[in-house]
Structure 1
Amino acid sequence: MLPIHAYCRVMRPASLAGATLAWAALAPAALAQASAAGHDEQDAPAIPEVVVSAERFTSLARTTPVSVGVIEAREIEAKGIVDLHGLVGVIAGVAVPNGFSNMPQAVAIRGVGASLPAMSQAVGIYLDDVPLLRGYATALWDFPDIERIEVLRGPQGSLYGQNSSGGAVKFVTRAPTPERQAWFALAGGNRGARELRGYVNGALAPGLSGSLGFSRRFNDGFGYNATRGERVNRLDVAQFQGKLRWTGRRGLEVVLAVDGVADRSDTHTLNYPLNHPRAAPRISFTPHGPGAFERLGGGGSLRLVKALGEGLELRAITGYRRYRDDPSVADFGGLETTRMVISQVVEQKAFSQELQLQGRGEGLDWTAGLMLVRDEFDFRRLTMVQPPGAPAPAWSDAQTRQETRDLGLYAQGRYRLDAATGLTLGLRAYQTRQKGRNEFWRASSAGLRTANVYLAPGLETESSGVLPRIALDRQWSPATYLYASYARGEKFGGFNRAAESLASARQASDPERVATFEAGLKGRYAGGALTANLALFHNDYDDYLASLTGTRIGGVQVNDSVLINAARARSYGIDADLALALGQRTRWTVTLEALRSRFDDFVNPSGADAANFVGKELPNAPRLSAGTSLVHLLPLRSGASLGLDLSASYMRRHFSDVSNNAALAIPSQAYLHAALVYRSPSRKWSLSLRGRNLTDKAYPTLRTRIAPLGVDTAYYNPPRTLLLTLRYDH
C-alpha cells in the first residue's frame, strides 16, 4: 500500500478535491461552534440514515466496512436516472463509456472494468441479488419500483462472485405490500420526447400482495442524418416489472418477480464521423436509413426466505434471464461512402441458483452459501468492409458459441472483538469452466458463406481459485467509524468471440486478478447535519486483460483483435461522499474521486517501441471525477410545495485505450442539470420540469478509429433535454 505522501501527490492537481476535503475537516467544528452558540441540536436538521444490503443483509451504510455510494428513489426520479450511464457524475469513480440503450454496457469503478462488453465484466450488475452477465441488455433501468441503487467500490468477490473485481452495482426494488398504492405519470419534452410510466401495489388475497411497474419512452432522435434529411439516434423502449409476494406462517416468505424489455431504438449512435469536411457533433452522412434494431429480453426470479430460528434464516434465490438482439444492423463509418457495416444476432440465456444461510447473534453475524451460474451465449456477425481505394467490398461471417458455468462456495462473518470493534473474514472458492466454438467464413453480399477461413470446435478452458477478504472496523467515537480492509478479486477471461484467425480463436486468457487495500472513515457529525465518507484505496493488478491488435501468439503475429493477459498495473486514490443539511429543507451533497493509475509491465504487442505501454494510464480511469447537488423544499401557504434539485458533474480528460492514444482521448466533461417539482396541497398531483445538460454541451464519450478502413467516428453525450411530467398519486 502506498505511503500517505503518495496520496497527497494525487490530490495536488485536484483543487476541487482538496477544497472538499478541507471543507469536510472544518465543517464539523464549525457546526459544533454553531450549536454551542445557542442552537438546539434536537431541532437541528439531520441527514436521513441510509440503509444498504452491501453485505447481503441490511445495515446502516455508516457502519458497513465497504465504500458504497447510494442513490435513493427520490434522487433517481429527480435526476431522471433510467440507465447505467445515469450513474456517472452521481456516484464518483463510476465510468460508463457507452450511454445509449441498445449499446452494450461496460462499467468501470476506480478505473477497474469497462472491457469488452460481450466478455465477463469486472463490475457485477445485480437485480435483487440475481446476477446479470456480460454487458449486453443491462443498460436500461427505468423500473418505477426501484427503491435504491447501491454502488459497491472495490473487489466484492467473497459475497458477489468472481466477476466483481472492480465492484458491484445493485438495483434494489420494492417488495409488494398490502397497502394500496398507485401512481401514473405522463410526460412530454423537446426532441419529441413522450413518456408514460406507472406503478400499482396492494393486497390481492390474505397473505398475498402484488405490484406492477411499467415504462414507455420515445423520442425523435438526438442525431441528424444530413444525407437523408432525417433524425437518427432515436429512442423507442418499453419496460415492466411485476411482483407477487406471499407471506405464510412459520416464517416463510416467497417473492416471484418477472420483468421484460422491448427496445427498438435505432443503432445510429456511434457513427458520427470526425473525418468529414462538414463534421459536427451528432451529424451523420450515411446513405442508409436508421439502423435496424430490436431487442427482446427479460427474466424472472423466485426468492424464498425461511426463518429457522432466532437469528437464523435460509434463503433460496433462483433466477433466469434471456435476451435476443435480432436484427442489429449498424454503419460504423457514417460517411456517404460505406466503409464498414455489421449485421449481427446476439442471444443469451442465463440461469442462476443460490442457496444461502444467514445467522445473526450477539457476537457474530455471518453469511454462507453456494452459487451456481450457467450462461449460454450465441453470437453471429456478418461484416462488410470497403477500405478506401478498394474496388469492391469484402464480406465475412463470424460465429461464436460459449457455454460458461461458474460454481462458488462462500462464507463471510463479522466477529465482535468488543463493543466497538469488529473483525470481518470472508472467503470464496470458485471453479469456472467455459466450452465453445469459433468459426470464420468469407461471404457474399447476400450473406451466403463462400469459403471457410477456420473452424475451431471443442474449445474448453477452466480456472479455479480462492478469493479472500479481511476487514477490521472500529466505532472510534459515537460520530466516527473507521475501517481497513484487504480483498482480492478476479475476472474470468475465456475465449475470444468473433475471432478472425485460428490463433486468436483458440487463445484462452487467464483470469485478471486485483488485490485492493482500503482504509476508510465514515462520520456523522453535528447531530447528523453533516455526514462524511472517505476512503483511501490501492489496487494491484496481475494478468491485466487487454484487447490488442498486432500481438504475437506462439511467436506468430496476429493482426486481429485478441483478448490476452497483457500487463501488471496499479491504481490508487481517494473517494469522498459528503452531505450537509443547510436547513430543515435544504441539503447539499458532494461526491468525488481522485485517481492515479499506470501500467508497471506490459506485453509488447508487436515488438516496436511505439507499442511499449509501460507507464501509460489505465483506460477509463479519469484523474478526477466529481459531482455536487443542492436540494431545497419550499412549503407554500396553500399547503402545496415547490422542490428544487440542482446538480453538476465533472469528469477530467482520460484515455479510452491502453496505448493512451491522444486522438482517442475522451475530453473533460462538465454538465449542469436541474429539476423543479410542484406538489399540490393534497399531494395527489405533481407537476415537474426536468432539464439535463442545460448548457447543451457536446462531448465525444466513445471513439471508434479503424485507420485502414477510413473509420474515425464518435458517440456523443445526449444534448440538452427538457421534460415536463404530470403525475397523479392515488
Structure 2
Amino acid sequence: MILDQCRKWAIVAGIQMQKRTYRACRSVAAGLLTPLLVVSGLTKVNAQGLPVEDSAATSSLKEVVVSVERRETVLRKTPMSVGVVGEAEIEAKGVAQLSDLVALVPGVAVPNGFSNQPQAVGIRGVGVSLPAMSQAVGIYVDDVPLVRGYANALWDLPDMERIEVLRGPQGTLYGQNLTAGAVKLISADPTVERSAWLSAGFGSQGAREVHGFATGAIGGTAEEPTTASIAFSRRSNDGFGHNATLNKDVNRLDATQFRAKFRWQTSGGNSVVWSIDGLKDTSDTNTSNFPLNDPRAAPRVTFTAVDAGAFRRIAGGTSLKITSQVNADTVFKSITALRGYRDDPTVADFGGLAVQRYTLSQSVEQRTLSQELQLQRDAGTNQWTVGLMFIADNFAFDRFLAVTPPGAPATRYTEAQTYQQTRDVGLYGQLRHAFSAQTALTMGLRAYHTQETGFNRFWLTQAQQVRTTQVYDANNLSTSTSGLLPRISLEHQWTPDIFLYGSYTKGAKFAGFNRAAESLLSAQVAANPERVTTYELGSKGRFFDGKLTASAALFYNQYRDYLASLSNSVVNGVVVTDPVLVNAGRAKTYGLDVELAGQLARQTQWTLAAEFLQARFDQFANPTGAAASNFTGNDLPYAAHVSLSASLRHVVPISGGGALALTGSVQYTAPQFTDVANTPDLKSPEQTYVNVDATYTDPNGRWSVSLRIKNLLNKTYALVRTRIAPVGVDSVFYNAPRTALLTARYSF
C-alpha cells in the first residue's frame, strides 16, 4: 500500500521515478511495514490498522504548536509546509548542528557537514550558494536573523525547545533573501518552577560531552516573577580522519557554548527577555583534504606534511525582547540584537597531498545589529501583523592563499581583502480575514530596500604574507535594490479532520559584490537579485482521534536571475577565470512534500517524511561561449530527486516504575549533482543511514542513561569533491563514520 502511494505521489508531482528511486521507496516501505506487522501480530487490529484491545486506551499524538506566522498556531491549521523537530527528537537523535537536519527534514541540504565550516542551507533544491553572501535560507535564533553563512552551524545547547523548517519564500514576515525558506532555532524561556540537570557522555573517536541546564525564579513576586536560565555545552573528540604522514588524527571537534536568559514579567502581560550566548570553537579545519589522487588514498586519510588546520572562532550575541500588552487584543513587540563572530585564524589545506598544492589562511569578522518593531492584533474575524525591520551588517574578510601547481618553478602567494557594509530596511504587514469559521484569506506584503557598500583589494605577497605588488584596488563599491514581496493564501477547514490551503508567494535574494575576487572585473561586478514565484497546494489532517496525522504539499517554484558562482565567465567581453557570482538564467523546481505520524499503540510512535523533487535550469547564460558551458536542462546542485526519513519509537515499561525508550531511524537521499555543470565525477552518491538510541530512565525520573549510535551500518560516502585540475587538487569530504555515545544524566 505504501509502495502504491509512493507511485501516486510521484505521478501527482509530475516526477518520473527512476529504477533506483523506485527501489529506495520499496526498501523504505518494507522497513516501515515491519513495525506495523509486529504490532498486528501481537494484537488484533481494526480496519484502520490500529490495535483493537488498545484502541480506547491508546494516547493521541500531541498537537504541535509553531510560530511560523509570528504568533503561535497549531501546525495542522497553519497554511504552510513546515518541518518541526521537537525537544524529545533533538535529544534522542543528537541534533547538534544544522547538517543534522538533513536526516530529519527531507528536502534540506547542507553540503558542509563539519560545524566550523561555512554553512549554506538548501531547501527544495535551492539555497546552496556562497556562504559569505546573502543566504536563500535564513537562519533565525529566537527571531533574531543570522546574516551570511558563517558561525551558524553549531547549536548544541540543552535549552533548545524546537526547530522549525519553513519551506518556500518567507519574505513577507521574515525579510528579503529568503527565497528558499527559513530555519528557526527556538530556545525555551526561563520558568518560575525550578529545575536543573547535568549530563556527561563518552564515546567512540574519543568523544567527550558535558551538558547542563538550570532554570527558575530568582526574585520578584508570584504575580510579577523574575526568572532566569542557563544552558551550556562542551563537546570534543579526537577526530574522524587520520593524517598518515604525521601519524595523527584530524577532523577534531572542540567547542564550548552557553546561553543565559533573564525574564521580567508583570501582571499586565508585559515582559522583557534578555538573552546572551557565546561560542568558542577551536576545532581543526582538515575536513575536505582527503585526496583521491594519491596511490595510498583511502577514506578519511590525508597526507599533508605540514600541520595545517589551525582554527579559532569566538562568536555570540545578545538580544532584548520586549512584549507589551497594549490592550486585550493588541500586542507590541521590540526585538533588538547584536551578534558577531571572528574567525582568526582559519588555516586549511585542500589538496591533502604531502606537497601542499592549495592552502589558505584567512580571518573573517562580522558585526550585525538588528532591530524589529512589531504590532499584532487578534480581533476574532481579523488578525493582523505589521512591522519594521532594520539590519546593519559589517563583514570583513582577509585571505592569504598559497598555490603550487605541479611542475611550477615556485609557489604563488596572494592576499585578497574584502569589506562590505550591508543595510536592509523592510516594512511588512500581513492580514488574515476569516470569512467564516471554516474559511480564511491571508494577504501579506513587504517593501524592502537593501544597499551594500565596501571595497575589494588584491595583492601578490611573499611566503611570510608580506605584500609585494598590488594587483588592483576597487574602492567605493556600491549597489542597491528595492522591491515588493507579496503573499496570498486561502485556507479552508473542509472537515473537522482535514485542512486545505493554497498559496502564492514571491521572494527575492540580494546578490551584491563578490568577496576575495582575484581580478578587478570580478571585484567590481554586482549581480542582480535572484527572484522566485512560488505556488503551493497543501492538505493537513488529524485522524482516528488524533492517533494519525498526515500532511502533503505540492509546490512549484519559478526562478529568474538564478544566482550561480561560475569560473571562466565573460564580464564586459572579457573572460574572468576566478569564480564570479552571476545571474545565470531561469530555473524551476517542483515536487511533493509528505509527512506522516502515527500513534501505533500507547507506547509506540512512528513517523515518515519524504520529498520528491525535480529541479532544472530552463535557461542558463553561456559564460564562455563553449558548447560545454551551456547548462540548460541540467539539474540544480544539491537537489536530490528523493529524500526520505522514518523513525520508530517504543517505550518499554520496567517493573518498579522505570522505562526503556528505544528509537530507530533511517534516512535515504538519492544521488545528486553538486555543480551546475552536472559533472558526473563530482556527483554525490546515494546515501542511506541507520541510527538507533536506547534510553533508560529510573522510577524517580532523576537518573537516565542513554546509548546513541549514528551511522549504525558504518557507511562511507564521498560527499563533497573539490577538484582544481590546474593545481593538482582532487580531494573529498567524507561523512562521519559510525559513532557511539554513552551518556548519563541526573536531574536535581
The answer to whether the superposition gives a TM-score over 0.5 is yes
Partner of 2:522: 504
**1:614 paired to 2:614:** no
Q: Can you list the C-alpha shifts for 1:249-278, whole angstroms capped at 9, x where unaligned?
A: 432100000000000000111100011111
Q: How far off its partner does 1:603 sit? A: 0.5
Distance 1:4 1:11, change over 3 A: closer
Partner secondary structure for residue 103 of structure 2: coil
Q: Which amino acid aligns with 1:521?
A: S
Cα distance in 2, alignment partners of residues 389 and 261 from structure 1:
43
Partner of 2:590: 572
**1:95 paired to 2:109:** yes
Distance 1:612 1:728, change over 3 A: same
Cα distance in 2, alignment partners of residues 40 and 656 from structure 1:
48
Q: How far off its partner does 1:533 sit? A: 0.8
Partner secondary structure for residue 268 of structure 2: coil
**1:593 paired to 2:611:** yes
Q: How far off its partner does 1:404 sit? A: 0.1
Q: How far off its partner does 1:45 sit? A: 3.2
Partner of 2:181: 167
Q: 1:647 aligns with which of 645, 648, 665?
A: 665
After TM superposition, the structure 1 = structure 2 runs for residues 439-454 of structure 1, keeping only pairs within 5 Å, are 439-454=457-472
Query: Does the 8 Å contact 1:41/1:527 carry over to 2?
Result: no
Q: 2:453 aligns with which of 424, 435, 438?
A: 435
Cα distance in 1, alignment partners of residues 382 and 208 from structure 2:
52
Query: Does the 8 Å contact 1:399/1:439 carry over to 2?
Result: yes
Query: Does the 8 Å contact 1:10/1:573 carry over to 2?
Result: no
Q: How far off its partner does 1:33 sit? A: 3.2
Q: How far off its partner does 1:515 sit? A: 0.8
Partner secondary structure for residue 62 of structure 1: helix
Cα distance in 2, alignment partners of residues 477 and 6 from structure 1:
23
Q: How far off its partner does 1:20 sit? A: 8.6
After TM superposition, the structure 1 = structure 2 runs for residues 135-284 of structure 1, keeping only pairs within 5 Å, are 135-206=149-220, 207-284=225-302
Q: How far off its partner does 1:438 sit? A: 0.2
Partner secondary structure for residue 113 of structure 1: coil
Partner of 2:123: 109
Cα distance in 2, alignment partners of residues 125 and 111 from structure 1:
17
Q: 1:632 aligns with which of 650, 666, 669?
A: 650
Provide the alpha-carbon RMSD of the alignment.
Answer: 1.8
Q: 2:687 aligns with which of 669, 675, 678?
A: 669
Q: 2:13 aligns with which of 7, 25, 48?
A: 7
Distance 1:379 1:5, change over 3 A: same
Partner secondary structure for residue 528 of structure 1: coil
Query: Does the 8 Å contact 1:180/1:202 carry over to 2?
Result: yes
Query: Does the 8 Å contact 1:259/1:298 carry over to 2?
Result: yes
Q: Which amino acid aligns with 1:170?
A: K
Q: Can you list the C-alpha shifts for 1:132-153, whole angstroms capped at 9, x where unaligned?
A: 0100000101011000000000
Cα distance in 2, alignment partners of residues 136 and 37 from structure 1:
49
After TM superposition, the structure 1 = structure 2 runs for residues 38-77 of structure 1, keeping only pairs within 5 Å, are 42-77=56-91
Q: How far off its partner does 1:4 sit? A: 9.6
Partner secondary structure for residue 77 of structure 1: helix
Unaligned runs of 5+ in 1: none
After TM superposition, the structure 1 = structure 2 runs for residues 171-570 of structure 1, keeping only pairs within 5 Å, are 171-206=185-220, 207-570=225-588
Partner secondary structure for residue 47 of structure 2: helix
Q: How far off its partner does 1:311 sit? A: 1.3
Partner secondary structure for residue 414 of structure 1: strand
Distance 1:208 1:36, change over 3 A: closer
Query: Does the 8 Å contact 1:35/1:41 carry over to 2?
Result: no
Q: Which amino acid aligns with 2:282?
A: R
Q: How far off its partner does 1:453 sit? A: 0.5
Cα distance in 2, alignment partners of residues 632 and 48 from structure 1:
16
Distance 1:21 1:444, change over 3 A: same
Cα distance in 2, alignment partners of residues 20 and 531 from structure 1:
19
Q: How far off its partner does 1:163 sit? A: 1.6
Cα distance in 1, alignment partners of residues 543 and 493 from structure 2:
14
Distance 1:410 1:681, change over 3 A: same
Query: Does the 8 Å contact 2:448/2:484 carry over to 1?
Result: yes
Cα distance in 2, alignment partners of residues 361 and 300 from structure 1:
33
Number of aligned pairs?
724
Q: How far off its partner does 1:72 sit? A: 0.5
Q: Which amino acid aligns with 2:579?
A: S
Query: Does the 8 Å contact 2:10/2:16 carry over to 1?
Result: no
Cα distance in 1, alignment partners of residues 401 and 126 from structure 2:
31
Cα distance in 2, alignment partners of residues 530 and 34 from structure 1:
10
Query: Does the 8 Å contact 2:433/2:440 carry over to 1?
Result: yes
Partner of 2:602: 584
Q: Can you list the C-alpha shifts for 1:300-333, whole angstroms capped at 9, x where unaligned?
A: 1000000011110000000110100001111111
Q: TM-score scaled by structure 2?
A: 0.95
Query: Does the 8 Å contact 2:10/2:612 carry over to 1?
Result: no
Cα distance in 1, alignment partners of residues 28 and 313 from structure 2:
43
Q: Can you list the C-alpha shifts for 1:192-219, whole angstroms capped at 9, x where unaligned?
A: 1111110000111012100000000110
Q: Which amino acid aligns with 2:298?
A: A
Cα distance in 1, alignment partners of residues 145 and 128 from structure 2:
17
Query: Does the 8 Å contact 1:440/1:500 carry over to 2?
Result: yes
Partner of 2:135: 121
Q: How far off its partner does 1:707 sit? A: 0.6
Distance 1:679 1:37, change over 3 A: closer
Q: TM-score scaled by structure 1?
A: 0.97
Partner secondary structure for residue 133 of structure 2: coil
Cα distance in 2, alignment partners of residues 40 and 113 from structure 1:
46
Cα distance in 2, alignment partners of residues 6 and 74 from structure 1:
34
Q: 1:659 aligns with which of 655, 677, 688?
A: 677
Q: Which amino acid aligns with 2:547?
A: A
Cα distance in 1, alignment partners of residues 631 and 48 from structure 2:
53
Unaligned runs of 5+ in 2: 1-8, 37-43
Query: Does the 8 Å contact 1:42/1:527 carry over to 2?
Result: no
Q: Can you list the C-alpha shifts for 1:560-580, whole angstroms capped at 9, x where unaligned?
A: 110011110101000011111
Q: Can you list the C-alpha shifts for 1:356-402, whole angstroms capped at 9, x where unaligned?
A: 00011210111110000010000000000000000110100000000
Distance 1:205 1:36, change over 3 A: closer
Cα distance in 2, alignment partners of residues 643 and 89 from structure 1:
20
**1:712 paired to 2:730:** yes
Q: Can you list the C-alpha shifts for 1:462-504, whole angstroms capped at 9, x where unaligned?
A: 0011001000110110110000101111111000000000000
Q: How far off its partner does 1:11 sit? A: 4.9
